[in-house]
Amino acid sequence: MTTETDDDDAYSFDSKIYYDDDADPTAIAGKTVAVLGYGSQGHAHAQNLDDSGVDVVVGLREDSSSRAAAESDGLRVETPGDAVAAADIVSVLVPDTVQPDVYENAIEPNLEAGDTLQFAHGFNIHYNQIQPPEDVDVTMVAPKSPGHLVRRNYESDEGTPGLLAVYQDVTGEAHDEGLAYAAAIGCARAGVIETSFREETETDLFGEQAVLCGGVTSLVKQGYETLVEAGYSPEMAYFECLNELKLIVDLMYEDGLGGMWQSVSDTAEYGGLTQGDEIVDEHARENMEEVLEQVQNGQFAREWIAENQAGRPSYTQLKTREESHEIEQVGEELRGLFAWAEEDEESDEEKTEVRA
């Protein structure tokens, strides 16, 4: 006989999670939000806020390539400086690498006491690239998804999970206001997890380096190279090591590791369970700990800031090397020959930075 898992065994979460019912829309009502940037996140926040009845002004450069889009979406557009001057809440949604510059030139001169400086990622605050004055609130509302989905899920009444963090609260209203903002862009329909700038920044950087973007691409390339160097065909190696990854990840996404193990054959399950830890072994674990340490002690941030200041020489070189890997040519050819690539065209617009 089996016994049902009772509540005592259920995992209890450390984090607080908020929903629409917890949010007080009056915390943002009557306030003007300047959305700086109209890219992935900017266009979604601006339109969702506007549809939720919040007063929005989009801040873009005079010659901005996004100006026409924002205007044709019916939004008021000003220069970043004028938008900040008109706003109570400044939502900083330009790329992280340009934020310090935009802050210095357009935000800081126009911020007033009691305003809110709001981010969708903690990098610049956590690593002191932006040092806000002491008389403003500093918050983060970070949807856990690319902007196009934030917009689409809002329109379909679904919502997108998000994070909320308060770094500085001088008005005593930072938390309520942040939660009201999260609700207005649709995040509180799905759930908003309370976190800190430090936790969001460090877990985000670690995740994308060790597992999501860095770890997984290395695993794919090394699997592919191992098969091809042993004489197997590049097509087989591509399907096995890259294409099928999506199917496995979809199963994990839907039902966890268990859902995946249940769907694959017993042979795959036995082989995977015995060999997985042999491949990604204690050395990989030590490397992960080192990656985490460099994120925590600021070494990675200093390196990336210096890289940008130098005009991105290593970044450009590494990008070129990645693009010229054989798996990329093989993949392009194969995706052109098979039908599954067509249905993916529609989602090309969503190919944007993983925010994990």
69 vs 356 by CB, closer to Mg ion = 356
Q: Give the binding range for ligand NDP (CB under 6 A) out of 59-67, 130-138, 206-214, 331-339.
A: 59-67
Residue 243's CB is within 10 A of a number of other CB atoms, namely 16
Rounded to a whole number of angstroms, the minimum distance from the CB of residue 335 to ligand NDP is: 23
- Find the length of the chain: 356
Buried residues in 214-224 as b, exposed as e (16+ CB within 10 A)? ebeeebbbebb
Segment 135 to 154, residues that bind ligand NDP, using CB under 6 A: 142-143, 146-147
133 vs 214 by CB, closer to Mg ion = 214
121 is catalytic: yes
Query: And the tokens for 324?
Result: 């010229």
Rounded to a whole number of angstroms, the minimum distance from the CB of residue 93 to ligand NDP is: 4
One character per residue 198-227, x = contact with Mg ion (rule: CB under 5 A):
------x---x-------------------
93 vs 183 by CB, closer to ligand NDP = 93
Q: Which does 204 bind (CB under 5 to 8 A by kind): Mg ion, ligand NDP, none?
A: Mg ion
Alpha helices by DSSP H, 196-298: 197-206, 214-229, 234-238, 245-263, 266-279, 282-296
146 vs 178 by CB, closer to ligand NDP = 146
42 vs 215 by CB, closer to ligand NDP = 42
Provide CB contacts within 8 A for 226, sequence distance 6+: none
| Closest CA relative to residue 33, chosen from 157, 185, 195 | 185
Q: Choose the catalytic residue: 43, 45, 121, 126.
A: 121
Rounded to a whole number of angstroms, the minimum distance from the CB of residue 321 to ligand NDP is: 23
Among 94, 117, 187, 251, binds ligand NDP (CB under 6 A): 94
| Closest CA relative to residue 153, chosen from 350, 352, 351 | 350
| Closest CA relative to residue 60, chosen from 30, 98, 29 | 98
Instruction: By CB under 6 A, tell whether 38 contacts ligand NDP.
Output: yes
Instruction: By CB under 6 A, tell whether 93 contacts ligand NDP.
Output: yes
Q: Is 43 exposed, middle or buried (0-12, 13-18, 19+ CB in 10 A)?
A: buried
Task: Give dist(CA 44, CA 47) in Å, integer.
Answer: 5
Q: What does the CA dihedral 267, 273, 275, 276 come to, rounded to 10 degrees?
A: 130
Segment 62 to 81, residues that bind ligand NDP, using CB under 6 A: 64-66, 80
Contact residues for ligand NDP, defined by CB under 6 A: 37-42, 60-61, 64-66, 80, 93-96, 98, 102, 120-121, 142-143, 146-147, 352-353, 355
